[in-house]
Structure 1
Amino acid sequence: MPEVNYIKHLRDNEDLTINEIVKKTGKNWRTVKRYADGEVPLEKLPSSKNGMMYEDGYGEIVDIWLEEDMKLKRKERRTNKKMFEQLRDEHGFMGSYRTVCDYVQYRKPILKEEKNTRYERLEHPPGEAQVDFGNMTVVKDGAYKDIKALIMSFPYSNAGFAYPLPAENSECFLEGLKQLFKQAGGIPTHLRIDNLSAAVVSIGKGTKRTYTDSFLRFQSHYGFEIQACNPASGHEKGNVEKKVGYTRNNLFVLAPEMESFPQLANWLRMKMDEDMNRPHYERGVSIKELLEEDRKQLKPLPITDLPIYSLAEATLNKYGEISMDGEKFVIHKGRIKQTLIIKKEWDSFTCFTNDGEIVYQESRAYMNQTRAIPWQDIMGDWAKKPRSAAYSRFFKYLPERVRVYLTIMPEESKTRIKGIQNLLDKHSLEDIHNILEVENRFERAPHELGYLIEAKQAAYPEKMTESHTPSILLDYQTDLKTYDQKLCPQLDGRVS
Structure 2
Amino acid sequence: MLAMSEINCIKVLRNQKSLSVNKIAKTLKINWRTAKKYADGEQIPHESNKKKKGMMYEEKWGQIVSDWLAEDQKLKKKERRTNKTIFKQLKEMGFPGSYRTVCYFIADWKNRKEQLEEEKDKNYERLQHPPGEAQVDFGLTEAVKDGKYIDAHCLLMTLPYSNAAFCIPLPGENQECFLYGLKTIFKQLGGVPRKIRIDNLKAAVIKPRRRNEETVFTDEFLQFANYYGFEPQACNSRSGHEKSNVENRVGYVRYNFVTPAPVVEGLEDLAKILEKKLIEDRERMHYQKKRPIKDFRYAEYFFN
Settle same-fold status: TM greater than 0.5: yes
TM superposition shift of 1:237? 0.7
Select 1:159's aligned residue among 143, 157, 164.
Answer: 164
The letter of the residue matching 1:250 is: N
- The structure, 1 or 2, with the larger RCO (C-alpha pairs under 8 Å, 6+ apart) is 2
Which of the pair has more CA radius of gyration? Answer: 1
Please give the alpha-carbon distance, in whole angstroms, between the structure 2 residues aligned to 1:292 and 1:219: 20
1:125 aligns with 2:130: yes
Matches within 5 A, 1:449-488: none
Is 1:216 equivalent to 2:219 in the alignment? no
Alignment of 1:280-319 (within 5 A): 280-294=286-300, 298-301=301-304
* Residues 31-430 of structure 1 mapped to structure 2, 5 A cutoff: 123-206=128-211, 208-294=214-300, 298-301=301-304
SS state of the match for residue 164, structure 1?
Answer: strand
The equivalent of 2:24 in structure 1 is none
Report percent identity of matched pairs.
52
- For residues 137 and 262 of structure 1, the distance between their equivalents in structure 2, rounded to whole angstroms, comes to 14
Aligned partners of 1:189, 1:154: CA distance in 2, in Å? Answer: 11
CA distance in 2, matches of 1:145, 1:250: 18
Letter in 2 for 1:129: A
Shift of 1:221: 1.1
1:226-285, CA deviations, whole angstroms, 9 ceiling, x for partnerless residues? 110011111101111111111011012200112122222122111100011111121222
Quick one: distance in 1 between partners of 2:181 and 2:153?
Answer: 10
Equivalenced residue count is 178
Give the secondary structure class of the aligned counterpart of 2:207. strand
Query: Is 2:164–2:294's contact at 8 Å kept on the other side of the alignment?
Result: yes
Distance (whole Å) between structure 1 residues aligned to residue 285 and residue 227 of structure 2: 35
Partner of 1:240: helix, strand, or coil? Answer: helix
Q: TM-score, normalised to structure 1's length? A: 0.35
| Separation in structure 1 between the aligned mates of residue 141 and residue 206 of structure 2, nearest angstrom | 26
Partner of 1:369: none
RMSD of Structure 2 on Structure 1 (CA)? 1.7
Q: Spell out structure 1 runs of 4+ moving beyond 3 A.
A: none
C-alpha separation in 1, matches of 2:286 and 2:246: 15
Contact 2:143 2:264 in 1 (8 A): yes
